[in-house]
């Protein structure tokens, strides 16, 4: 099927080992995509949604034990434990290969192996990376079609000897002859392995069919393996959205933004601004690959082709662009099904119908005491369908970045926005960002900050201390005047009664405007011990009903609280041991001095 001898050999080896009944090459055509979905509707794995209300769209329900990424079953199998670092699960690679080889033996019996050549990044972009996925999940195949560039065009780009990242995936559920098996096959949790071999640039995933565990282009390749490639090749593979901002005069600036989960990242990526004349467009909602151009500026591409967004909470109020994106040609997973074959979820903005089929396929009524959709229910939709997608979103050269946003959920201490003093200070800010732990997370640590450097904690494919050093090195190697400033934003500051101080959503455009104008040198700021900050008068607050006292609270720096923050950072830095970059110790000492 291909002239690439190494690829053929690799496929042959795995066919012999996994023993699928048949092998199908993924061609990337609409016809193959449609046929695969029709086959899954016929065998009961998918429900075809109403062709008028939700054209070209399907619903899948996962096994109740297979509903999200599994961090405790995700492994970085570097040769040395020290290279995986304190934040990753490590297994010696030969041991992991031997466990997994045992599990993969004959695992595809009764199933089809799909051979899916795919590309992260646009065709003809020097940023792009090619990979080939062998999977026994047709659900994964159709999702990969939306999330990546797949098929013959990628194979042609690979040529006879091009480099590719080998990705092997199995749901871990072989079929006995004549038995159909469950609609969502998967293995028990202790047999799930999401395995990365960073030195070999190889991914093996076993036992899960869900999201980041199974759509291997996303977190496994575009972040964990790519972060290692980026370290070795001098670029940045980051968990960041990419936005295009246009001011009323038509001037354009691009920004990236790192946010941990549950911070409204997809909403920000598709934000509808409330300030007149300003336009916000989407380049990407989750991952940014950034390299320096010949002009010394940092350029970003979105390596993905689709969105794999959380459905619950998405509505025409919170994210009208996402709602328009998923109006057609969308794969829904674990949302509720209405009696007229449409979808529903908590927070969709319409009242719950009297009857639904819930995400587990059971009858559901408003009297039920469980949610109808799983909280991590997802939509998979083509990025090209987003009304806010920027025309240049697939530009092979990427877009020049003027600012990098970072942020988490911080009800106290962290103001609405502050700007880094320089690159190293920005990396310090990125290394310490995170969200306050709430009852929804780990109950015995409520109120503490779960630090998540650049929102990459679960996605760094090597030692987290070396990752921070890489950020510092990248800055040191380039013209400081051309490096983007880093902005810590915090939409989640609360008052003493626990009420949010800032309205968020489209009003966040007011902060984006200040950041845009800072890059242009036209917006004011004052020096504070934690960085540069706007005064209320530096922000465009026209038409916003917000009390001056509230603005003062949002833009205040409580030195005592920040001294406690500095102590907490010092404690947290302990996990990096001797791999904590010295420049970050210097930044922490400088912060303490400014606060004294
Ligand atoms: O639960 C999953 O498998 C999905 S995780 C995910 C999906 C899209 C974007 N970001 C994430 C994430 O965990 O950051
Ligand atoms: Mn993400």
Ligand 1 atom with the shortest distance to the CA of 376: 1
pLDDT of residue 442: 52
Mean pLDDT of 112-138: 96
Ligand nearest to the backbone CA of 211: 1
Tell me the pLDDT tens digit for each residue of 147-204: 999 999 999 999 999 999 999 999 999 998 888 899 999 999 999 999 999 999 999 9
pLDDT of residue 68: 96
Tell me the pLDDT tens digit for each residue of 57-68: 999 999 999 999
Structure tokens at 580: 């904590």
Spell out which residues line ligand 1, taking CB within 6 angstroms.
Answer: 68-69, 210-212, 261, 286, 308, 376
Which of 194, 211, 378 has most ligand 1 atoms within 8 Å of its beta carbon, as the pocket-test mutant?
Answer: 211
Alpha-carbon span 456 to 169, nearest angstrom: 23
List, in sequence order, every beta strand (DSSP E) within 264-362: 279-284, 288-292, 298-301, 306-310, 331-333, 336-338, 343-344, 356-357
**What residue owns the CA closest to ligand 1's atom 8?**
308
pLDDT of residue 303: 98
pLDDT of residue 2: 85
* Cβ proximity of 275 and 513 under 8 Å: yes
How much of the chain, in percent, has pLDDT values that exceed 70?
99
**What residue owns the CA closest to ligand 1's atom 7?**
308
Burial label for 592, CB within 10 Å (0-12, 13-18, 19+), is: middle
Which of 66, 67, 69 has most ligand 1 atoms within 8 Å of its beta carbon, as the pocket-test mutant?
Answer: 69
* Residues designated catalytic: 263
Alpha-carbon span 596 to 594, nearest angstrom: 6
| Model confidence band, residue 443 (pLDDT cutoffs 50, 70, 90) | low
**What residue owns the CA closest to ligand 1's atom 13?**
261
pLDDT of residue 444: 66
Which element (helix H / strand E) includes 489?
Answer: strand 485-489
Alpha-carbon span 161 to 344, nearest angstrom: 47
Q: Is the pLDDT of residue 407 over 70?
A: yes
Which of 63, 147, 212 has most ligand 1 atoms within 8 Å of its beta carbon, as the pocket-test mutant?
Answer: 212
Q: Give distance in angstroms: CA of 515 to centre of ligand 2.
A: 23
Query: φ, ψ for residue 140 (rounded to 5)?
Result: -65, -40
Q: Is the pLDDT of residue 521 over 80?
A: yes
Alpha-carbon span 507 to 172, nearest angstrom: 46
How much of the chain, in percent, has pLDDT values that exceed 90?
95
pLDDT of residue 203: 98
Pairing state between β 531-533 and 363-364: unpaired
Tell me the pLDDT tens digit for each residue of 270-305: 999 999 999 999 999 999 999 999 999 999 999 999
**What residue owns the CA closest to ligand 1's atom 10?**
286
Q: Give distance in angstroms: CA of 449 to centre of ligand 1.
A: 21
- CA distances in angstroms from 109 to 24, 173, 487, listed in the order given: 14, 9, 52
Average pLDDT across the chain, whole number? 96
pLDDT of residue 32: 98
pLDDT of residue 396: 96
C-alpha closest to that of 88 among 165, 207, 214, 197:
197
* Cβ proximity of 376 and 308 under 8 Å: no
What is the layout of strands, in order, in the sheet containing 46-48?
A: 46-48, 58-60, 331-333, 378-382, 306-310
Q: Is the pLDDT of residue 441 over 60?
A: no
Q: Give distance in angstroms: CA of 21 to centre of ligand 1.
A: 31
Q: Give distance in angstroms: CA of 85 to centre of ligand 1.
A: 22
Mean pLDDT of 215-241: 98
Ligand 1 atom with the shortest distance to the CA of 210: 3
Ligand 1 atom with the shortest distance to the CA of 67: 1
Q: Give distance in angstroms: CA of 309 to centre of ligand 2.
A: 9
List, in sequence order, every beta strand (DSSP E) within 198-251: 202-206, 236-238, 240-246
Tell me the pLDDT tens digit for each residue of 229-258: 999 999 999 999 999 999 999 999 999 999
Q: Is the pLDDT of residue 440 over 90?
A: no
Mean pLDDT of 83-102: 98
DSSP state of 389: B
pLDDT of residue 262: 83
Alpha-carbon span 422 to 590, nearest angstrom: 13
């Amino acid at each position: 099927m291909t002239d690439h001898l190494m690829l053929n050999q690799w496929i042959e080896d795995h066919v012999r080992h996994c023993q699928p009944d048949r092998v199908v090459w993924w061609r990337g055509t609409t016809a193959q995509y449609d046929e695969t979905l029709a086959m899954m509707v016929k065998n009961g794995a998918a429900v075809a949604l109403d062709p008028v209300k939700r054209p070209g769209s399907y619903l899948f329900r996962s096994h109740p034990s297979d509903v999200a990424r599994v961090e405790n079953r995700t492994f970085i199998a570097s040769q040395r434990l020290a290279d995986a670092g304190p934040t990753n699960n490590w297994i010696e690679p030969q041991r992991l290969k031997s466990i997994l080889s045992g599990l993969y033996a004959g695992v595809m019996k009764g199933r089809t192996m799909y051979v899916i050549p795919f590309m992260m990044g646009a065709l003809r972009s020097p940023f792009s990376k090619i990979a080939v996925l062998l999977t026994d999940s047709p659900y994964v195949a159709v999702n990969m079609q939306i999330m990546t560039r797949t098929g013959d065009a990628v194979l042609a780009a690979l040529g006879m000897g091009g480099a590719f990242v080998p990705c092997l995936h199995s749901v871990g559920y072989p079929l006995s002859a004549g038995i159909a098996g469950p609609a969502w096959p998967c293995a028990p949790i202790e047999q799930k392995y999401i395995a990365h071999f960073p030195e070999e640039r190889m991914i093996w995933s076993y036992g899960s069919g869900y999201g980041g565990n199974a759509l291997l282009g996303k977190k496994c390749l575009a972040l964990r393996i790519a972060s290692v490639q980026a370290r070795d090749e001098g670029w940045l593979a980051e968990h960041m959205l990419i936005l295009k901002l246009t001011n009323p005069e038509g001037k354009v600036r691009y920004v990236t933004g790192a946010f941990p989960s549950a911070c409204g990242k997809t909403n920000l990526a598709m934000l509808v601004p409330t300030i007149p004349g300003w336009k916000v467009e989407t380049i990407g909602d989750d991952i940014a690959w950034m390299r320096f151009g010949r002009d010394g500026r940092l350029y970003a591409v979105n390596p993905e082709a689709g969105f794999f967004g959380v459905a619950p909470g998405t509505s025409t109020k919170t994210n009208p662009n996402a709602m328009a994106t998923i109006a057609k040609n969308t794969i829904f997973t674990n949302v509720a099904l209405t009696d007229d074959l449409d979808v529903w979820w908590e927070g969709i903005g319409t009242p719950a119908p009297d009857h639904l089929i819930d995400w587990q396929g059971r009858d559901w009524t408003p009297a039920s005491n469980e949610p109808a959709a799983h909280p991590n229910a997802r939509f998979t939709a083509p990025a090209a369908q987003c009304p806010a997608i920027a025309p240049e979103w697939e530009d092979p050269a990427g877009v020049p970045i003027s600012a990098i946003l970072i942020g988490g959920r911080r009800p106290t201490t962290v103001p609405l926005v502050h700007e880094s003093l320089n690159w190293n200070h920005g990396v310090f800010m990125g290394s310490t960002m995170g969200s306050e732990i709430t009852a929804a997370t780990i109950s015995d640590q409520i109120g503490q900050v779960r630090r998540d450097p650049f929102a990459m904690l679960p996605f760094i494919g090597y030692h987290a201390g070396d990752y921070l050093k890489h950020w510092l090195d990248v800055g040191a190697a380039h013209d400081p005047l051309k490096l983007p400033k880093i902005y810590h934003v915090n939409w989640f500051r609360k008052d003493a009664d626990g009420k949010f101080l800032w309205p968020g959503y489209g009003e966040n455009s007011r902060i984006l405007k200040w950041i845009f104008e800072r890059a242009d040198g036209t917006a004011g700021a004052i020096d504070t011990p934690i960085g540069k900050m706007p005064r209320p008068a530096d922000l465009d607050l026209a038409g916003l009903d917000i009390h001056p006292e509230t603005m003062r609270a949002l833009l205040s720096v409580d030195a005592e609280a920040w001294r406690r923050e500095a102590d907490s950072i010092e404690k947290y830095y302990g996990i990096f041991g001797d791999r904590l970059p010295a420049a970050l110790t210097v930044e922490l000492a400088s912060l303490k001095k400014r606060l004294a």
